Each structure stands twice: as C-alpha cells, then as structure tokens.
Amino acid sequence: MSDVLVPEILSYDADDLAARTGRIVVLVEGSSPATPAARRLDRLTRGAVGRAMASEAWGRVKPGESLELAYPAGLGASALHLVHLPRRADLAAARKAGGTIARLYGAEPVLAVIEGHPRHGELILGLLLRAYSFDQYKSGEKKAKAAVSLMVADVAAVQASVTAATALAQGVFLTRDLVNEPANVLTTTEFSHRLTGLRDLGVHVEVLDEAELERLGMRLLLAVGVGSECPSQVVVMRWNGGQAGEAPFALVGKGVCFDTGGISIKPAGGMEEMTMDMGGAGVVAGVMKTLALRGAKANVVGLVGLVENMPDGRAQRPGDIVKSMKGDTVEVINTDAEGRLVLADVLWYAQETFHPKAIINLATLTGAIIVALGSEHAGVFSNNDTLCNAFLKAAAAEHEGAWRMPMGQAYDDRLKSRLADMMNVGGRDGGAIVAAQFIKRFIKDDMPWVHLDIAGVTLLKGDTPTAPKGATGWGVLALNRLIADTFETAPKAV
C-alpha cells in the first residue's frame, strides 16, 4: 500500500527559524504579519514578509494558496512560503492549505509553522491526502524525499489530530491504490486477498467462492463473470464496534475488476480506464479500514461483489434470461449493463443475511451520470429522505460533491420485459435513473437505501487540492462522517 506521510511534530521555537534550511512555510492572513511566527520571520527577513503581504500579488492569493519568497535574506532557508489561511477559514481552505504544503514535499526538508491554528486538523488531513503517490510501476531509481515537520504551539493536541487524520488517509489510500492498480495485477483473487489483510485490524472477513455463490443462487453475479478466467467472489467484511446484537449498517460495492462490456463490447478508446470499474468496492474497503483504525463504535458490514466482465465462448449473451437470488428473472439486453446485476444479488444477500438497519451501495455504474453531473458530483438515488439527507449533509461537510437525482414509476416501467420479470436496461435517455430503478427492485420495501453512482468522481484526469491525477478515493470521508454522525454517536432513526 502507498505510504502515508506522517510529519514530525515540533514545539514552536522562534529561535530555530533563522538557521533552518530547506523550505519554511508560515500561515498568515490579512495584509500584514500578525502571528508570532509571521512577525518573527518578518524581523529576520528585514521586513520582506510585511512588504509581500502588502503587495498586489498577495491580494490575488486565495485561501489555501501561497506566495513564495525565494532565498530570503536573513534566513538559511532556500524559500519562505506564505500560505494564506485565515483563522476562520472553512474546511476546504484548510485542506487546500495542507495540499499546498504537500506539493513542496521533495528533495529539501519542509518546516511548516502552523502554531495554534484552529484548523490544524483539516490542514494535516489535506497534507496527508495530497502527498499520496502511486509510482510502484515506474522503473528507475526513486529519489528519497526529505522530511516534513510541523512546528506547533500544542504538540499533544496536534499529535492527536495527526493520529485521527492518518486513520482517514489510510482508508482513502487503500481505495486509491485499488482503483489505480492495473487489472492484470488486481484480479478478483488478488482483490479478495488484500481485503483479507483487514483481519489484522480486527475486521472479520469472509470470502464466498463460486460454489457458495451458486448454492446461494447468486446467478446474476455469476453470469457476469462466467466468461473470465478470474473466479467471481463476494467478500464480506464485518466491523463489530457497536453494541452486541445491534443490527449493522451495510455498505455494498460493485467490484468489476475489469469491464470490457462482455459480448456487448465497449469501444477501444478509453477502455483502459475500465480498471476503475471496481471503484465502489474500493470505497467500501477504504471505509472499513478507516473504521477499524479509529475504533468506530458502530456495527458495519461491507460487502463487495468481485467479477471480471470478459467476452468468451462461455460469456453471457444479449437475450439470455438469468434468475436472481431474490427469485426474479432478468432478460439481459446489454451485457455492458453488468454492475446492476452484481449489485442486485449482493444487496439481496446483505438484507437476507444481516438484516441491516440501512444500506448504501456504491458503483461506477453509468456513463449517463457523467453526462448529467460531470466529475463534480456523484449521483444520489434513494427511497428514504432521512438517510439520503444525512448522507448529503455528510458529503457536503466533507466537500465531496453529491447531488440527489429523481426516481419514479415512469422510469421503472421501462424495465418491462416481454419474456422475463424485467430487462437490465431501458433505453439510453435517463439511463442513470433507470439503472437506479433496477437496483431498487432488489431493495425490500421497509429498507432505507441510498444508491451512489460514482462513475464521474472515481478517477479524474487532473489533480485536485487534495489528490494527484487519477484515483480520488471519493466517498471514504463522507461515509465515515455519516457513520460517525448517524450510526455511532447518539444514533438517529432512519
């Protein structure tokens, strides 16, 4: 797994600043040095900090961004970076500031003087998240990177924030690593092997093989993977941190480790990105890791359906009719609409086996949601306003974009089949909604449920303030917050 950069925590020492080499970062706001560290650095640089903060250039620096003073007189440092972070800055600005510091991580040591900033916890999380790197397949000598240190007023308080942020970052990093891995490495077998490693953290992990899935009647899921040499599997992860016997909250993830589209094969252009079609399962894995690392006081079960959708002489065909674990039959019109088949069986198994108090599933399900929402928001579909609003609130608090989409009988009617109980598609227009309606058919009437279509937010072509280009880990932070707020502390009815 990609390593989490854990900064060294130092007690604030004004006398240590002059001799520091490498890069120094100081948090400032307004148009003049106000904090003890900023005033100290202003004196050491003979007023350079104050002149910079009074300049027109500083006026263009947004919260979370920085202005660099190269080779400042009076300091041993090669550069002094003024990071704009007001004490009343919001979460996004604080994380962006941390990401700005992380971008300096390289050959030179970095000392960030954050003193007693009230947003230090969010800054640290932003630093950890933006320092992520996935470069294990790049050949050549990798240059060692110098240390990052934080100079603070209260070492104990900041150390506690580092511990909390590290638990979150490790969950996000697991998700990012899984999404970034190539399909020839992250087979269904390798995926389940990595998840069994969560046992070391106290997570109970069970792997259901094809024989067990056949016995259970998960023939929709098995039909998706029948054309692959990789065996289909379902992995069940249980974190029992709540009251004994209390019904768990359930997370279910689509884990298509590679999606060619099957017999309804996709165009060649962009197919290489279908290594990310297990993104929903990756998020579930990341959440389970974070819950274990922070010792969440909740019962949570995470289930992922792991398959590979390949064209083969044995692969399912358009027109096939397959029976689900629930007992309903599905006419497969398009074999590239496979994720909903995987989810249908795993969701039914989750309800029948664990009787959860609520359930959320995640999937890189449709291109239609990307057309609707781009890469800014995941699509949110639900049968329960209370659960849906709780998730939307958690996502907004974590600045993970999420937008509720409509559902309705007219969309559901488009799934009617002449030969079976339903078809797996219902036309191109409104495709993300029709897909959600298909999944809803496998949710029991009294079960609070949210479906998250994360196709647009899982893998980005550019970097963000807290993530480099590639896998984002979207959803780990929001779901962790939802569990903490709704199912862990003074649980609310859903």
The fraction of the chain above a pLDDT of 90, given in percent, is 95
Residue 490, pLDDT score: 54
Q: Encoding tokens for residue 268?
A: 């060649």
Q: Which of 130, 176, 340, 481 is catalytic?
A: 340
Q: Encoding tokens for residue 343?
A: 């989810």
Indicate where the chain has its CATH 3.40.630.10 domain(s). 181-488
- Which amino acid, 469? K
Indicate where the chain has its CATH 3.40.220.10 domain(s). 8-153
Residue 493, pLDDT score: 52
Question: Could you tell me whether strands 402-404 and 321-323 are parallel, antiparallel, or unpaired per DSSP bridges?
Answer: unpaired
Would you say 87 and 80 are in contact if contact means Cβ atoms under 8 Å apart? no
Cα–Cα–Cα angle for 390, 392, 396, nearest 5°?
A: 120
Q: What length is written for the chain?
A: 494
Would you say 369 and 340 are in contact if contact means Cβ atoms under 8 Å apart? no
Q: What is the 3-state secondary structure (H, E, C) of the chain?
A: CCCCCCCEEEECCHHHCCCCCCEEEEEECCCCCCCHHHHHHHHHCCCHHHHHHCCHHHHCCCCCCEEEEECCCCCCCCEEEEEECCCCCCHHHHHHHHHHHHCCCCCCCEEEEEECCCCHHHHHHHHHHHCCCCCCCCCCCCCCCCCEEEEECCHHHHHHHHHHHHHHHHHHHHHHHHHHCCCCCCCHHHHHHHHHHHHHHCCEEEEECHHHHHHHCCHHHHHHHCCCCCCCEEEEEEEECCCCCCCCEEEEEEEEEEECCCCCCCCCCCHHHHHHCCHHHHHHHHHHHHHHHHCCCCEEEEEEEEEEECCCCCCCCCCCEEECCCCCEEECCCCCCCHHHHHHHHHHHHHHHHCCCEEEEEECCCCHHHHHHCCCCEEEEECCHHHHHHHHHHHHHCCCCEEECCCCHHHHHCCCCCCCCEECCCCCCCHHHHHHHHHHCCCCCCCCEEEEECCCCCEECCCECCECCEECCCCHHHHHHHHHHHHHCCCCCC
- Phi, psi at 239, each rounded to 5°: -110, 115
Q: Which of 368, 475, 487 is nearest to 426 (CA)?
A: 368
Residue 146, pLDDT score: 85
CATH 3.40.220.10 fits 8-153, yes or no: yes
Active site residue 297: no
Q: Which fold has domain 181-488?
A: Aminopeptidase (3.40.630)
The predicted-structure confidence for 449-472, as pLDDT tens digits, reads as follows: 999 999 999 999 999 999 999 999
The predicted-structure confidence for 214-273, as pLDDT tens digits, reads as follows: 999 999 999 999 999 999 999 999 999 999 999 999 999 999 999 999 999 999 999 999
Residue 494, pLDDT score: 56
pLDDT beyond 70 at 489? no
Tell the residue number behind the tokens 């049968």, with chain if given: 383
Residue 202, pLDDT score: 98
Radius of gyration over alpha carbons of the chain, in Å? 25
**Mean pLDDT, the chain, whole residue set:** 96
The predicted-structure confidence for 355-377, as pLDDT tens digits, reads as follows: 999 999 999 999 999 999 999 99
Q: How many CB atoms lie within 10 A of CB 277?
A: 28
Active site residue 199: no
Residue 424, pLDDT score: 98
Per-residue CA distances from 227 to 221, 222, 230, 313, 314 (Å): 12, 10, 9, 7, 5
Q: Which of 122-126, 335-339, 487-491 has the lowest mean pLDDT?
A: 487-491
The predicted-structure confidence for 379-405, as pLDDT tens digits, reads as follows: 999 999 999 999 999 999 999 999 999
Spell out a b/e string for 35-55, using b for 16 or more CB atoms within 10 Å of the CB, else e: bebbebbbebbeebbbebbee
- Identify the band that residue 101 occupies on the pLDDT scale cut at 50, 70 and 90: very high
Cα–Cα–Cα angle for 15, 20, 26, nearest 5°?
A: 80
pLDDT beyond 90 at 142? no
Q: Encoding tokens for residue 64?
A: 């979370």
Q: How far apart are CA 80 and CA 111, in angstroms?
A: 10
- Phi, psi at 161, each rounded to 5°: -65, -35
Q: Which of 39, 103, 194, 266 is catalytic?
A: 266
Q: How far apart are CA 342 and CA 365, in angstroms?
A: 11
Q: How many CB atoms lie within 10 A of CB 420?
A: 17
- Phi, psi at 167, each rounded to 5°: -60, -40
Q: How far apart are CA 70 and CA 145, in angstroms?
A: 20
Would you say 352 and 329 are in contact if contact means Cβ atoms under 8 Å apart? no
Q: How far apart are CA 304 and CA 288, in angstroms?
A: 12
Q: Encoding tokens for residue 307?
A: 């398959």
Give the mean model confidence (pLDDT) for residues 423-437: 96
The predicted-structure confidence for 194-229, as pLDDT tens digits, reads as follows: 999 999 999 999 999 999 999 999 999 999 999 999
